[in-house]
Structure 1
Amino acid sequence: MKVDNLEQGFFGIGIQNGKTPENLGVLWRTAQNLGASFIYTIGNRYSKQASDTHKAVGAMPYFHYDTFDDFYKHLPKGALLIGVELTDEAEALEKFDHPRRGVYLLGAEDHGLSKQAIEKSHKLVKFSSALSLNVSVAGSIVMYDRNTKGTVIY
């Protein structure tokens, strides 16, 4: 296996107050397939996912935070928090330049991101969709977009 310690950048993805364990498991599986460096949850916590058939939890670091404040104070140095939310202020994903060090946060399908998470996000992104999507599908689209575009340095 070739290891390039000079390669810069990483990304993690997580859900705030996830509604179902199935959504979390699907997101984890996709995160592992699309190169996430870590996965995390804020609020609700599930220990085992039937839909995580690739056992992503054993393949990459998984973090759980009881509150948004606890999560926020542990953001990696230099990382930007990217909230994924259907708001007027959010930038279209189609035009979004992904940061080299990004931490993506999705909200539960029924409530979205908390007001605090929206306010503390460094950037907000959304994509063209008439209505909200399943959270694991939305996260998968964001990670796929990141992989196909690459990242920018900032």
Structure 2
Amino acid sequence: MTKGGYFGIGIFEPKNETNMGTLWRSASILGASFIFTIGKRYKKQSTDTQKSWQQIPLFHYADFEDFYRHLPYSCQVVGIEMDARSVPVEQFRHPERCVYLLGAEDHGLTNAVRAKCHHLVQLPGDTSLNVASAGSIMLYDRYLKQQLPLSAAPTPDLPTA
């Protein structure tokens, strides 16, 4: 992954509005170009103590079809989800231009939404994380991998002869 490009992060049908303020703050600190919501239930929250709305925009889409129609050219959708097809985050190479899509805590991403994702990534653990925490971890993983030269990136242990 190069240090160019852009990325955004958002929540599909967010359940708890307070998570948006936390995610917005993390997105601003970790270099996101924008954040977004798909579906209902968002309002400004006091958890955005850094007033991130002054730094990066928030977009709202009525439903997944509306969101998908407005994807920028050559932008990949990266679903963060516990799924048999998901790649562990430790092995994931972030696309140069992408959006990270999180599901609400109560139902995650639907099967129809998962099918439209270019990539599915799973964070560590056997149960789901708070959505703002999961988003922050994913953004930090991107940030960290951009800082390391490819030769310094972790590689799997190879058997010795």
Question: CA offset at residue 45 of structure 1?
Answer: 3.9
- The question of 1:78 aligning with 2:74 is answered yes
User: What amino acid is the match of 1:44?
Assistant: K
**Partners of 2:14 and 2:42 within 8 A in 1:** no
Any gaps of 5 or more consecutive residues in structure 2? 148-161
Aligned to 2:91: 95
Aligned to 1:55: 51
| Per-residue Cα deviation, 1:40-79 (whole angstroms, up to 9, x for no partner) | 0000142311111111122212100010000001011111
Aligned to 1:32: 28
* CA RMSD, 1 decimal: 1.3
Larger Rg: 2
Q: Aligned partners of 2:60, 2:54: CA distance in 1, in Å?
A: 14
Aligned to 1:4: none
Q: Aligned partners of 1:132, 1:112: CA distance in 2, in Å?
A: 9
- Secondary structure class of the residue paired with 1:150: helix
Farther-moved stretch of structure 1 (56-65 vs 67-76): 56-65
**Partners of 1:98 and 1:150 within 8 A in 2:** no
**Partners of 1:42 and 1:64 within 8 A in 2:** yes
Alignment TM-score, normalising by the size of structure 1: 0.90
Q: Which runs of 4+ in 1 moved over 2 A?
A: none
Seq. identity, %: 51
Counterparts of residues 119-138 of structure 1 (less than 5 Å): 119-138=115-134
- Secondary structure class of the residue paired with 1:11: strand
**Partners of 1:18 and 1:41 within 8 A in 2:** yes
